[in-house]
Amino acid sequence: MKRVLLMAVSCAILSAGPAGAFVVCDKPKPASAPMAPAVSVEAAWVREAPPQAEAMAGYMTLRNGGKEALKLLSAQSPQFKTVELHEVVTIDGMARMQEVKELLLPAGGTLVFEPGSTHIMLIGPKKSMAAGDKVSLTLRFSNGREIKSTLPVKARQASSHDHHEHHDHHHHDDGHHEN
Amino acid sequence: MSSAGRLLMLIVTGVTILSGCKAPEEKKLYPHAILTPEPPRSIPDAKLVFGDGTPVSGDWLVGHWTWLYFGFANCPDVCPMALEFAAREYGRIRRKDQVQVVFVSVDPDRDRSPKLKSFVTFYHPDFLGVTGTRKDIDTLAQAVGASYVIDKPAVAGGAYNVSHSNMVFILNPQGQLSAVYAPGIPEGQMAEDFDHLLGKEKV
């Protein structure tokens, strides 16, 4: 924890996009020419969960613009007690969620976190989160680099893959007002 | 309680159901289902309870179609996707009065609590959340061909994960398993099947 905070001091905000601002943190280095960020975060979001939820799932696409393959080793958020990297495997129709210790982000490639597949498991929210809230996440890579990202919590209809013309959304207005 | 840490497998998976299936040619009632047991399979009695402990009435599966899903409320990814799927398909069908969506928690240690209701109704106010003793859950799960595994917590009393079937089991108004749908099939297909079915059924 302390180490993360220390490293955060050396962070610089590099970009702000629709997915939220992200920050690339490097270990303190001798002054040198600024480098393009090797890793960028796209389409980051957290699935809104019921108010009492003890776990939430976050999704994003990581893009490695560098020439070096990286491994994502861990993630942390000050808003959650624990953050784990999870994947879902389906065997005989049974979905099994399991923690993974590292995930490969190939040079020039992407690492995709998406519903029903690899996701960031956010466990034990320190306070209940709803759509519109933002989750701060720090990702730590094998080369010691850390990336900070802000993931907006999105309502469930936003996560729908529903492209049909007229489906009713009326029921989506329910259930938000509990607690 | 005794369940945590034990590998609880109900090895009656979809494969078993499949063996009892044949592909209906002309009168295909559930064209978008992945399994259609023929004839529909009877379900033995299972005495389930709502999250707050209130017993579910004995005839809860009779007189309407039931969409059953097995999961757990601490599930952040797979169950929400399936419940969103069910909510969208349910939202589309015309005869909502003929369909009851029921989420069965296979994790009573954590979900026999009022939070089960708030979890389930978060996805649709008409949805019901039920659970029960391990024995009753197993009776129901085995009968429809659902399976689940409750992991051992890494530390005593700590969080644990639950693996479970990711299927929507359809019971007909006689309470018999008559089809199985996979969440994530193209939008509207399941609703289309039910609009077709309920339009013809004289209930």
**Strand A146-154 to strand A39-47: parallel, antiparallel, or no bridges (unpaired)?**
parallel
> What local confidence, expressed as pLDDT, does residue B5 receive?
39
Cβ of B88 within 8 Å of Cβ of A53? The answer is no
Residue pair B121/B127 in contact by the 8 Å Cβ criterion: yes
Average pLDDT over residues A152-166: 56
Nearest to B170 by CA among B32, B48, B12, B56: B32
Q: What pLDDT, on the 0 to 100 scale, is given for residue B29?
A: 87
Best B52, B68, B72, B77 member to test A by mutation, with max A CBs in 10 Å, is B77
No. of helices (H) and no. of strands (E), chain A: 1, 12
Please state, as a whole number, how many other Cβ atoms lie within 10 Å of the Cβ of residue B175. 19
Inform me whether the pLDDT recorded for A169 exceeds 50: no
Q: Are A172 and B83 in contact (CB under 8 A)?
A: no
- Residue A20 token pair: 């939220």
**Percent of chain B surpassing pLDDT 90:** 71
d(CA A35, CA A67): 13
The model's pLDDT over B121-168, given as tens digits with 9 standing for 90+, comes to 999 999 999 999 999 999 999 999 999 999 888 888 888 889 999 999
> How far from the centroid of its chain's Cα atoms is residue A156's Cα?
17
Instruction: State yes or no: pLDDT of A62 exceeds 60.
Output: yes
pLDDT band at B22; cut points 50, 70, 90: low
pTM: 0.76
Residues of chain B in Cβ contact (below 8 Å) with chain A: 13-15, 73-78, 80-81, 84, 87-88, 91-92, 115, 118-119, 121-125, 147-149, 159, 161, 163-167, 182, 184, 187-188
Dihedral pair phi/psi, residue A104, rounded to 5°: -85, 135
For A96, nearest residue in chain B (alpha carbons): B163
Report, as an integer, the average pLDDT of A168-172.
Answer: 39
Which of A19-28, A54-63, B116-125 comes out lowest in average pLDDT?
Answer: A19-28
Give the pLDDT band (50/70/90) at residue A60: very high
- Contact at CB, B122 and A50, closer than 8 angstroms: yes
Q: In whole angstroms, how far apart are CA B187 and each of A12, A14, A109, B103, B167?
A: 43, 39, 30, 20, 15
Quote the CA–CA distance of B28 and B22 in Å, as a whole number. Answer: 11
Min CA distance, B123 vs chain A (Å)? 8
Q: Chain A residue closest to B189 (CA)?
A: A164
